[in-house]
A and B are shown apart, each in its own frame.
Chain A
Amino acid sequence: MSIAAETKQQVAEIGEKYKYGFVTDIEMDMAPRGLSEDTVRFISAKKGEPEWMLEWRLGAFRRWLTMKEPNWARVHYPKIDYQNAFYYAAPKNTPLKQSLDEVDPKLLETYKKLGIPLHEQMALAGVAVDAVFDSVSVATTFKEKLNEAGVIFCPISEAIRDYPDLVKQYLGSVVPVTDNFFATLNAAVFSDGTFVYVPKGVRCPMELSTYFRINASETGQFERTIIIADEGSYVSYLEGCTAPKRDENQLHAAVVELVALDNAEIKYSTVQNWYPGDENGLGGIFNFVTKRGDCRGKKSKISWTQVETGSAITWKYPSCILRGDESVGEFYSIAIANNYQQADTGTKMIHLGANTRSRIISKGISAGKAQNTYRGLVSVYGKAKNARNYTQCDSLLIGGDCGAHTVPYIESRNPTARIEHEATTSKIAEDQLFYCLQRGIPQDEAVSLIVNGFCREVLQQLPMEFAVEAQKLVGISLEGSVG
């Protein structure tokens, strides 16, 4: 059985808890099972790609055949049979439900807790209503506005067709084809993703993808995203969705490449709430992501913010290459692992240029039987005069059966650089909980309040409306974790 089909079956067996999104029988337009040059050619043909793109993919595939799956992270999972999976499956159409009555009430309850507006709830749950079309038309309006500003914001397949020169220039320029096992796999078989180009001096008039939340939630198994901020521009990009996501692919291997030129700034925020598996650790998404930003220009800035609450396995290290002098890298992270989830996440800050600065704030929360690892690298090279880094790495444990781990690497080769790293480990103290209860706050809400307090510095980095939902998500992810 393929891993995808296996997940599907496991999820079906679990039944009640997470059945939404997994029950629709979608008519597939499928690539043959397994991975070969033919699969790669099939995907490229499906996407109507030019020859150079196919060659790029094939190069990646040949390389991938020689690579080994990495095993250094603190994550354990059954061996993935890459030859027994499907690599391309385009959903033709999704049978729509007639009303919200047909939707799993538990799903609706989660939407309500998250405060998602009604029409979006319907869209997320796949209900046929006019309201959905409203939001699509809203999306169209904003697209016009982006056009006016000269911002390119489109699916990557469209960019390969319409802006081949830009794509050729930047694709694989931050995450090389040969970077790592999963990134190379992605290069060979990616079928989805976003392309963003913000021209010189343009401040992108809106948070990209906030208004496209519904569309953005329909992401594929192997996404590839490229964001380029040309000189003096600014863009804020939101990825993901606080609502539980419909997805039946067990294996995910996305690649995100960011390029910031002189004086440009990119802010990239992620909320990841994919299926984490059930209370017994059955099912769930394996998420192997390569995200990297290149501060190529002087005084450029790239800021990653992530709220990771989903997936059975998270393997993700959004990084910054601080190449331009005076460039700035930031990483703000909340990672929550509950039940049997395993998260191994962190960042790399590579200081190459002079006067580069980086800041890392990581908040890890472990509950149930989960393992949560922060893994980070701060590396200062010889030419990075006066480089500065500050890292704060806090872990919170809920219960005595989980694990919280911190693995920072600090490397300095310049005497004028300063690096500071601090880490703490704590738990929700019984007296904190009692204090909240005594003031009338129920247990789950008290846990949510305390954990949100613990995560505050990171939540503050999220765009306002996203932050509110993320706060609620933090609470929902930990419901029932304190007995």
Chain B
Amino acid sequence: MTGITALGLPEARRNEAAAVFRARGVPHRRVEEWKYSDLKSALGEAGIGAGQADLRISHLPSGVETFDLAGPNPPDWVREYFGLASRNVMSAASLSLSAGGTAFRVPRGLAVAEPLKFEFTGSGHVRGLVVLEDGASLTLVEGVTVDKFRNAGLEIVLGEAARLDHVRVSPNAGDAVLVEEVSVRIAQGGQYRAHFAAFGSKLSRMEVEIALEGEGAEAHLSGVALLDGKRHSDVTTHVIHRTVGTRSTQLFKHVAGGHAKAVYQGKVTVAKGANGSDSNQSAKALLLGENAEADLKPELEIFADDVKCAHGAAVGDLDAESLFYLRARGIPEAEARGLLLQAFLEDAVAEIPNTDLRELVRTELLTALKALV
């Protein structure tokens, strides 16, 4: 036995995960949650295998403690939080099949100024854990390397009044099949902000489950997808308002050209008694190609009456009148389209709090836009 299994971590968690995965198997399009992302057919005969992927740290700011999940003698915080999220089928797969990855901890009250930069890398399964203790804050910058198939499971635990800004940029990954499940638990007054910029691959799925567990906990998600060719990108979110006074917002903007397929599935659950919950969801998609496809499924599941919950979704194309206006002012069509697309995506990009990261995403988008129009 190697890695975490050998360390006396609750074996029950891994067994449970293995059982979940055995029962459900590799998801395909007839599995409701995977309707628009047929993982089984994308993987073909190779299946999900049992390979080991890795987590590579490219910048570790001082003050952040790490633990190699393949190493011996895990500290208490790893024992406590690792491997709790196992209900999601692919998360269960990585939990039961992965023997590696990294855990991070920001101690109580520490505000880490520099971003922590890391990326999941290699083919196979891998896990990550990020724990912010009460009052701690951190910016997490996640990169994505291009490999054949990777299934990464990332757990995030935010203590009281902790704050995490998470930015993930997933480049055009060609033929790669990339699946990632992020599970976030937020205590009282904690705040999670995430932005996912996706440029797609053969199949790319980013799945986030967020539990707002303490009063006043907040989650703010935003994202852009810019897809061309036969690329696919799926962002699937589930925000659960477990208690009173919790807030969540979501703003996703997707653009699909060529034969690309952009998917957004977002579910918001308000538990019984979670009064004063406030949730807003907005998802918009633009189609540029005759053969492109956009799928949106904004879902509400409400069990409390004193709530403010709304969602809006729209699919369309570029506004012809705006396009004409720009061209009438002498801007060539391709450029005008680019400008309008940029404007379409901008309000989601503007959600990124960190200026440098915001600029980074803008630059990536601009490059991709030029290729698209």
Contact = CB atoms under 8 A, between A and B. Distances in A.
Interface in A404-420: 404-420
Given A400-B275, A400-B306, A410 B313 contact: yes
Contact of B305 (A397, A413, A418, A423): A397
B291 A423 contact: no
B302 A419 contact: no
Given A410-B297, A421-B298, A423-B300, A416 B32 contact: no
A419 B316 contact: yes
B57 interface: no
A412 B300 contact: no
A408 B313 contact: yes
Given A397-B305, A427-B306, A412 B285 contact: yes
Interface string B307-330: 111111111110000000000000
Nearest to A425: B309
Interface residues of A, number: 34
Nearest to A399: B305
Nearest to B303: A403
Provide the main secondary structure of the chain B interface: strand
Contacts of A427: 305-307
Contacts of B4: none
Interface in B270-288: 272-273, 275, 285, 287-288
Interface in A381-435: 382, 395, 397-425, 427
Interface size class of B (residues with CB under 8 A): 35 or more
B315 A425 contact: no
Contact of A413 (B293, B302, B313): B293
B315 A412 contact: yes
Contacts, number: 113
A77 interface: no
Contacts of B315: 380, 410, 412, 417-419
- Which of A407, A410, A417 has the most chain B CB atoms closer than 10 A to its own CB? A410
A420 B314 contact: yes
B299 A408 contact: yes
Nearest to B296: A410
Given A72-B32, A427-B305, A411 B293 contact: yes
Given A405-B300, A414-B287, A421 B314 contact: yes
B301 A403 contact: yes
A83 B40 CA distance: 37
Given A401-B272, A403-B302, A423 B297 contact: no
A317 B191 CA distance: 39
Nearest to A419: B315
A415 B288 contact: yes
Nearest to B263: A411
Nearest to B297: A409
Nearest to A371: B303
A451 to B, nearest CB: 14
Contacts of A414: 287, 290
Contacts of B295: 409-412
A411 to B, nearest CB: 5
Contacts of B272: 400-401
A46 B254 CA distance: 58
B289 interface: yes
A425 to B, nearest CB: 4
A376 to B, nearest CB: 10
22 contacts: A380-B315, A397-B302, A397-B304, A402-B303, A410-B313, A411-B293, A412-B287, A412-B295, A413-B287, A413-B291, A415-B292, A417-B317, A418-B314, A418-B315, A419-B313, A419-B316, A421-B298, A421-B312, A423-B312, A425-B300, A427-B305, A427-B307
Interface of B: 32, 272-273, 275, 285, 287-317
4 closest cross-chain pairs (CB), A and B? A397-B305, A415-B287, A425-B309, A406-B300
